[in-house]
Structure 1
Amino acid sequence: MTTTAPLSLLDLASYLPERRVPAEYFAEYAENDDLAGSVMFRAPAFRHHAADGETSADMICSSARILLQRHGDDFLDDVDVVLTHSQLPEVPIRGCGGEVAHRLGLRPTKVLDVHNGGCAAFIHLIDLARGLLAAGGGRTALIALAQNSASQIFTQEQVRGKPQAAIPGDGAAVAVVTLADEGGSPILGSACHSYGEYSGDMTGVSYPPRKYWEAGSGQIHIGFTEAKIAKVLARGNRMVPEVAMEVADAVGIAPPDLDWFITNQPNRIFLRNWREALELPESRHPDTFDECGNLFAVGIPVTLDTAITDGRIGTGDVVMTAAFAHAGDFAGAAALRWAGRP
């Protein structure tokens, strides 16, 4: 737990692909699946899908260009560290961090592609940025996240009829954090916890079975069963409120007194249970689920950016962000006091 690290969020921006896909697209292909009635898979009205050939780097750079348009072409010139997370890296082994830095004209001393953290990766990267910068890695970090699996995994012919296919959406977001003593929105506190005992419960499967790198006719998708869904629901219902309450207690704010609560958004059931656990009304727990679906790691920054841009989050407001990842192998929360855009 860190409550006093001198880290601030300067600003963030998000990007949604142009292609807006209604739930009817998936209803057309829906199969008679045993999991069709699960609360995990009640479809949002819309989600966005990346265009054919649109990569993680493309979407991240589109987000970054919004920041540059807002603040000027030199806004990212002082970036020392680039941290990226892509839900589906296009190239085996490496991520997109080096390409992103090159395309944005950056000369960072460190570029890290972070493949874990899942739906909580935004918080995870904030925590990593704090550690790297505090250890002498520079003063400013660019955090960049892309969710690009909706259009590539969940529209496959063998996958699009499954209940899970209608939930994810694509998008990207970037944020700039700094150790500067003045300016920006201070990160009041954060906490991250790893639960490795649950890491094996999120699996990719295909029929016929194969390893993901092997050629074969079976298309990869997430291996859900009723037993796994029950475990994920129980863990998620517990983990997100627990870590949010941990940070709220550390920064001296009772959960019901938080101005805003922004979480990842796997489904409406989780959203309802999480805000009820913190005794918060729906009006203070914004989400973008019905427009964007489950954006995985991008869900928190997209919703945060949306609520700032439309004027709901005002200067001085305290925002608690919290999420859990995969089948419950990671959870994190971070609180910030919004100071307005520079």
Structure 2
Amino acid sequence: MRRHAVIVTALVGVATVFAGSPAHAGAPAGTPVTACGTVVTGDAYLAHDLSCGDGSAVTVSGNARLDLRGHTISGQGPTSSSQGVFFVEVGDAEVRNGRITGFYNGVYGSGSGTKTVRGVTVDGSANGVAAHGDMFETNTAVVRVDRSRIESNTTGISLGWFHRAEITRTEVVNNNWGADVAWQGSAVVSRSTFQDNAVGLLCSDNTTCEVTASTFTGHQEEGLFQYESDVQVSGSTFSHNGAGWGGAFGHTRITGSTFTSNTVGVRSGWSHALELERSTLRDNATGYTGEAEDTTLDSISQSKLVHNGDGLVSESTAIALRSVSAIANSGWGIYAPHATDLGGNRGSGNGNDPQCVGVVCGPTS
């Protein structure tokens, strides 16, 4: 797995904006930020576009909020050792309403508390939004990315050693890694879109990820890839990916989701326990495939395989099928010669006979 180093450079002797500046009638709330290297400790707003060099363009400290007011903070490119917005210290802090582009880290979070990125476009950086704790201490930070667009970065969202990441109503588009969540944390993804990244969402290395009502489309490799983690997916859509979902060495439960027009809808790898329930795999080159020699159980139930090339193909002895319908696939409907048959499976209109291998299939209604 590719990892991207996070370089945190703090400027010494930066200008400081203190909380509590009096508001004047008709003036915007908070204190104006007008120069690179400013430290914000209360409510503040960006007075105009900023173009900055190395270091942190704006540092947001403690319980502070920075409103970009539709303006842009620009850096010198993704190879520089720089942060567009740098969250520090204990507290609940926020940056909102604007654009951050051309930094090593567009937004970097440290310390503890809730760090929120809301209504921000972050692009052209090595890491769009990054936050990494310390493996030797307990980290209680929450990193929240809400109603934002994370686009054309090497890694869109990179989170590690953090207690919790929340990605809501956010578009993660045209990055190499869309979001990379790793190392002992947890992530909740809801109502978000991952599109045209090499890999959409990677959950790895003892992370817990929960994905609901989200869309994964147009990825060269996996829309969602799980490695050595626990993943829950519900009510989500995977389309036009190399693989909609793929995983190894962990556990994934997928319910009420749809996989359409992928090269492989669901690809289960080594030592991985998959529960696929009440889902539809339609118009994929292959609906489901698993490792032939894997001994970790995959359970597929109450799901439909429709109009794929092959519906389900697995040589594994560790697969159990219950109430699976294979309908009008051009090749195999169900080919799982070593499967455990839990009953209720059906098949009809598939290109290969018998309609089902390894389980008994009745006709579809």
So what's the TM-score if we normalise by structure 1?
Answer: 0.20
TM-score (norm 2): 0.19
